[in-house]
Amino acid sequence: MKAMLKIFMIFACAISLFANTSDRDFYEAQVKILKELDINPSFIKTSYYTNMKKSIKKSHIKTFTDALKNGYVYIPMIKEHIQNSKVPDSFFYLAMIESGFSNHTVSKAKAAGMWQFMPKTAKMHGLNINEYVDERRDPFASTKAATTYLSTLKKQFGKWYLAAMAYNCGDGCLSKAIKAAGTDDLATLIDPQKKYLPPETRQFVIKILRAAYIARETNFLLSKDSSLLNPKGGLKLVQVTVPGGTNLMHVGDGIGLSLKKMKTNNPHLKYVFTEPNLKNTYVYIPENKKEIFSQNFKPLTGKKDFFAYTVKRGDTLLAIAKKTGVSHKAIKDFNELKTNAISQNQKLIIPRSKDNSIQNYTVQNGETLAEISKKFNVKEKDIRDANSLASSNLNAGESIVIP
């Protein structure tokens, strides 16, 4: 009996020791994050930090894991670049908070992309924005620009947490706040009573700390989603050089990728082709497709496979289709239009392709849509869509287009 009691005591002590070690390691990990961001470790004892921990709900953890799933393919690249650029590892969560790792997020203030750059700031840091491209949506280019910008703000304000806050509200806003507060102390600057900073900025560093806390929290580490933080694979994309005006479909056909997949891999392109004004530019393709690309890709010579058309007063998609000889559906798909609505002076891209061409046809006496469909081997629905027909009724002598 005594022997059993002795074994139990040893086992209990071991569990207690392990728990204390685990708690201590977790505490030290939290302190490390604070130091990494140049925050005084004493901040961990403030009500801000305590409330942050207490306020974590299942919804926060779900938002966290949803963001990881959304950005899963880019996580290895983001982490690698952050480490190489020597900004704090915790800034990995800055993109998570700004956009949920989405390249398509646009704020009310018109900030766009994974790192939520405003147009002026984006251009200042080398990101190209014009009628054809928006590199704020390029996860690779924008990550590089973001770390450069954060490093610049660190030099300006001297501390990483201040760089993060300036990233959120602007350096002018933060400078005024520090002057009004008479200090750059974090706890003072985020005081909700004093309101030195906008509400979103007051919560910004707290949100970064919360994300870092969740990432190291025991329950999360034991969950099935924890592997998303350190994926072994991820999407490995590489840049390849192509001429300006190259259609993504042309690239995709040569390497066995659909147009949809090519668009997904190149979110910075506003259309399904590269910037036409450049002699050469780039697109992203999977790394394992690079060799087949070099073997199969042959740049098109002569005319580009599209041209620009400016919508004139009274134009409709059907009228433009008849005028250009390109099907209504092809124009709609190429410009990613969700409806048939177009507006005066709107620029449309008209694809040049035999597959997209149309022909005009005059309906004969007594002829039905079904008969015309069989005659040209075209679905009735496609003919209705191309001509914006509300029904299948046709009148003799009526001119329609056959896609």
pLDDT tens-place string over residues 382-395: 777 767 676 777 77
pLDDT confidence of residue 377:
73
Domains of the chain with CATH codes? 21-229 (1.10.530.10), 237-296 (no CATH), 306-402 (3.10.350.10)
Instruction: Report yes or no on whether pTM surpasses 0.95.
Output: no
For 168-176, what is the mean pLDDT?
97
Are residues 239 and 277 in contact, defined by beta-carbon separation less than 8 angstroms?
Answer: no
Round to whole Å and give the CA distance between 102 and 115.
9
Q: Is the pLDDT of residue 246 over 80?
A: yes
Angle of helix 160-169 versus helix 139-157 axis, rounded to 10: 120
Which stretch of DSSP H or E encloses residue 120?
A: helix 119-124
d(CA 395, CA 362): 9
Per-residue model confidence (pLDDT) at position 394 = 77
Assess whether pLDDT exceeds 60 at residue 226: yes
Higher pLDDT, 160 or 309: 160
Structure tokens at 7: 């074994």
Query: For the chain, what percent of residues have pLDDT higher than 90?
Result: 52
Per-residue exposure over 344-365, b if at least 16 CB sit within 10 Å of its own CB, e if not: eeeebbbbeeeebbbeebebee
Mean pLDDT of 40-56: 94
pLDDT tens digits, one per residue of 353-362 = 655 555 667 7
Between 153 and 246, the more confident residue is: 153
Looking at residue 19, its pLDDT comes to: 41
Q: Residue 290: its pLDDT value, please?
A: 94
Average pLDDT over every residue of 207-230: 82
Do the beta carbons of residue 104 and residue 138 sit within 8 Å?
no
Amino acid symbol at 54: K
User: If pLDDT is split at 50, 70 and 90, which confidence band does 10 have?
Assistant: very low
Per-residue pLDDT tens over the stretch 306-359: 777 889 999 988 888 888 888 888 888 778 788 889 999 888 888 776 555 556
Tell me the C-alpha to C-alpha distance, in Å, between residue 299 and each of 95, 354, 369.
36, 18, 41
Dist CA 330 CA 51 (whole Å): 55
Strand 347-351 to 359-362 pairing: unpaired
In terms of pLDDT, which residue wins out, 143 or 360? 143
User: For the chain, how far is it from start to end, CA to CA, in angstroms?
Assistant: 91
Residue 16 — very low, low, confident or very high, per pLDDT cuts 50/70/90? very low
Ramachandran angles phi, psi of 134, nearest 5°: -145, 95
pLDDT at 138: 97
pLDDT at 253 over 60: yes
Mean pLDDT of all residues in the chain? 86
Q: What is the mean pLDDT of residues 194-219?
A: 92
pLDDT above 80: residue 136? yes
- Which pLDDT does position 155 carry in this prediction? 98
What percent of the residues of the chain are helix, what percent strand, and what percent coil, each to the nearest 5?
Answer: 55, 10, 35
Residues ≥6 apart with Cβ < 8 Å to 51? none
pLDDT of residue 81: 94
Phi, psi (5° rounding) for residue 386?
A: -65, -30
pLDDT confidence bin for 303, thresholds 50/70/90: low
